[in-house]
Structures are given as C-alpha cells and as structure tokens.
Amino acid sequence: MNRIIALVGMCGSGKSIACDVLKDAGWNYIRFGQITMDALKEQGKPITPENEKEIRESLRKKYGMGAFAQLSLPGIEEKLKSGNVVIDGLYSWSEYKILKEKYDTLLTVVCIHASPLTRYSRLEQRIIREDDSEVRMRPLSKEQARVRDYAEIENIEKGGPIAMADVMIVNESSEEELKKRIKEIADER
C-alpha cells in the first residue's frame, strides 16, 4: 500500500529540502503552494509576498479553509496509484482534517521546526535558482517572513497541523542532519 507524508512547518523550516530528499528517493510530489503560483501566473501578476498572500486568502475565501487540500485531492489520488506521495506545504487545520479523514493511516504528518531566528536567517540568504520553475525557495526579508508567520498563524489555522504532527523534526543544525532524519522517517513508515 502506498503512503503519504505531508510536511508542515513555518516558512524556512526546511520543508523543501525534506521534499527533495523524498523526491530523489522516488516519491511522487504534490506542492499545495503551486496552486498559488499557478493562479498568479494565470492572472499575470508578479510573484511577491503580497500577491501570494492575496491569492491564498482569496482561494480560502472561495473554497474554504481546506481549499488547497481539496483542490489537490485529484492529483494526490492520481499520484498515489503509482507510488508514495510527499505533500509539501500542508497549512491549515481544515486541510489536515480533509487529508486525515480521506487517508487515515496512509498519512503521516511530519513537522519540521526551526526557531524564527534560524528561519529568518535562512530566508534572507535564499537565492532563487534558475531551474526552479515552481519558485519554491524564494528569499524573504526578516520583516516579510515575520508578517507571513503572523498571517499564517492568525488567518489560516497553521498551528493545528503542527500540533497534531505524527513526527517532529527540530531542524536547527545542518542540512545533512535534516536529510538523514527524513530518510529514516521514510524508511520507518
């Protein structure tokens, strides 16, 4: 039976790196945030933190707080047929409940945690890679990151999935340590 690992955590915690480890191990990949990027592209708007926030909040207003999970279910179902699936960016409590109800024991929620000080430093140092068509890892200033943190906690129920995670990884050390721990979790599950 194929499995799903959904990654939760605040921006800059290490979710994209963890996803890359699983993708490299052959896991199928779903990124909830890609819905936002696709909407921006469709509307001809530049990718900025403000435009991203506007799209995220408008989609949740239109489809409810579980919007990204609901809109991603067909893709998850399709990819689950051919292998394990890693979901990057489970954010809201409603999204968590949709996935948990649908997939129950097939779903493992992994929280990657890093302190704001660590995350903000990482985010300020990020460089957009030329090959990153998804624009997953873009830089944010400390203030942009703080504003996003507050908005995600206050407006999109982000604390719930973090609190209910099946596994917690504290990512305050090296990228190699994070990669090692993700591989262990994938093998355990």
Total number of domains in the chain: 1
Residue 110 belongs to what H/E stretch? strand 107-113
Look-up of token digits 């068509």? 133
Contacts 24+ apart (CB under 8 A), 54-59: 56/156, 57/155, 59/35
The pLDDT score that the predictor gives to residue 126 is 83
pLDDT in tens, the chain (189 residues): 899 999 999 999 999 999 999 999 999 999 998 999 999 999 999 988 889 989 988 998 999 999 999 999 999 999 999 999 999 989 899 999 999 999 999 999 999 999 999 999 999 998 775 555 555 667 899 999 999 899 889 887 899 999 999 999 999 999 999 999 999 999 886
The pLDDT score that the predictor gives to residue 77 is 97
The pLDDT score that the predictor gives to residue 65 is 92
Q: What is the pTM of this model?
A: 0.89
- Residue 100 sits in a domain whose CATH number is 3.40.50.300
- d(CA 173, CA 112) in angstroms, rounded, equals 12
Q: 88: domain range?
A: 4-188
Q: Which of 132, 113, 135 is nearest to 41 (CA)?
A: 135
The pLDDT score that the predictor gives to residue 91 is 87
